Amino acid sequence: MRFTEKIITIERFIFEHQPDYARGDFTNLLYDIAMAAKMIANKTTRAGLADILGTSGATNVQGETQQRLDIYADQTIFRLVDHTGRVCVMASEEHEDVLEIPPEFNKGRYVLVYDPLDGSSNIDVNVSIGTVFGIYRCVDWANRGRVEDCLQPGRKLLAAGYVLYGASTMLVYSTGQGVHGFTLDPHIGEFLLSHPDMRFPEPKYYSANHAYFGRWSPEIQEYTRWLQGRGDYEDAPKALSERYIGSLVADFHRNLLRGGVFMYPAEVGKPEGKIRVLYEAGPLAFLAHQAGGYASDGQQNILDIVPQTLHDRTPIFIGNRHLVQKAEEFVAQGDTAFQ
């Protein structure tokens, strides 16, 4: 009997597929993120027990203080990485300023940006949520550890990925050599390669919060009709079905597996949209590109946006390349001040 399906742990995969420039630090930083993912997953699966064991900030029956999950996720990532000598600075969506490396620890060459737990409206209702991360190299070794190290365009990312806390926990990442997905086996505590070389297939879905339809520009409204296969368009796609979770990681992940486009466009009075350039749009744009897709703010490639501040936002269209390019065509027909 011959077993053909290999079982490949994330550790082995990262080690065997590390980019040429990667020395131990880069590879170990990815391990650290995988470890953080396991620790956060361990809490998210118990989230519903908070009411029984004690609510946030309260002391539970075991005498432990319950923490909000997003704060736990934020601190877990920081505490796993700050003392390793691998990064010189971090930035988290949860903090206004950069997270400096404590003076007693060495500063490495890498920069970690992350959204510890995205999809805040879904945290307390047992709906999928996610962690998003990106890794850059510092811009100036001699002065490493400044905000400038974080304010780099997505095009400069060395690696990016996300963790999806869903029916199972998945870690999906890329170091610029394709996108690879791993599923956590909770019984042995290992991420195992389950989705090698992920590419957007022919699209099935589009994802948008239709409650905002009235706040979108006429061109974006028309774009949604195009996605639905309505109107008189020769190049209309096969009518797409709508799916929207309200957790960017989960919406992106589904569209990556099934094909489709996610959009959170500009709105009247909210031209910047909602999604953060540094912690959400940039890393996911990097993954989309690696999976044969594309991400745009409606006018330019998200990967070209240089964030001016840590918390800049951007409109976003992300998914199958031709669907995103079509969004750009519609946007170009309108008033560019209002996409």
Span from 38-46, 244-252, 283-291, 303-311 in contact with ligand AHM (CB under 6 A)? 244-252
47, 35 in Cβ contact below 8 A? Answer: no
What are the start-end ranges of the E strands in 58-97? Answer: 87-92
Residue 209 within binding range of ligand AHM, rule CB under 6 A:
yes
Query: If we measure between CA atoms, which residue out of 204, 284, 301 comes closest to residue 247?
Result: 284
Torsion angles phi and psi, residue 266, rounded to 5: -65, 155
DSSP assignment of 303-324 equals: GG---SSTT-EE-EEEEEHHHH
Closer residue to Mg ion, CB minimum distance, 250 or 331: 250
**Closest separation between CB of residue 118 and Mg ion, Å?**
4
Size, binding site for ligand AHM by CB under 6 A: 10
Residues 114-153, mask of contacts with Mg ion (x by CB under 5 A): -x--x-----------------------------------
- What's the rounded Cα separation, in Å, for the pair 55 and 230? 48
**Which residues in 258-297 contact ligand AHM (CB under 6 A)?**
264, 274
What are the start-end ranges of the E strands in 239-290? Answer: 241-242, 260-264, 275-276
Query: Quick one: tokens of 257?
Result: 């597996």
Query: Quick one: tokens of 273?
Result: 């949209």
Among 74, 82, 94, 118, binds ligand AHM (CB under 6 A): 118
Closer residue to ligand AHM, CB minimum distance, 119 or 181: 119
Residue 74 within binding range of Mg ion, rule CB under 5 A:
no
* 247 binding partner (options Mg ion, ligand AHM, none; Cβ < 5 to 8 Å by kind): ligand AHM
Residue 94 within binding range of Mg ion, rule CB under 5 A:
no
**Closest separation between CB of residue 75 and ligand AHM, Å?**
17
**Closest separation between CB of residue 177 and Mg ion, Å?**
27
101, 116 in Cβ contact below 8 A? Answer: no
Q: Residues near 188 by Cβ (< 8 Å), separated by ≥ 6? A: none
Query: Quick one: tokens of 167?
Result: 């029916």
Among 76, 174, 247, 296, binds ligand AHM (CB under 6 A): 247
* 54 binding partner (options ligand AHM, Mg ion, none; Cβ < 5 to 8 Å by kind): none
**Closest separation between CB of residue 319 and ligand AHM, Å?**
13
- What's the rounded Cα separation, in Å, for the pair 306 and 178? 23
| Binding residues vs ligand AHM (CB under 6 A) | 118-121, 209, 246-248, 264, 274
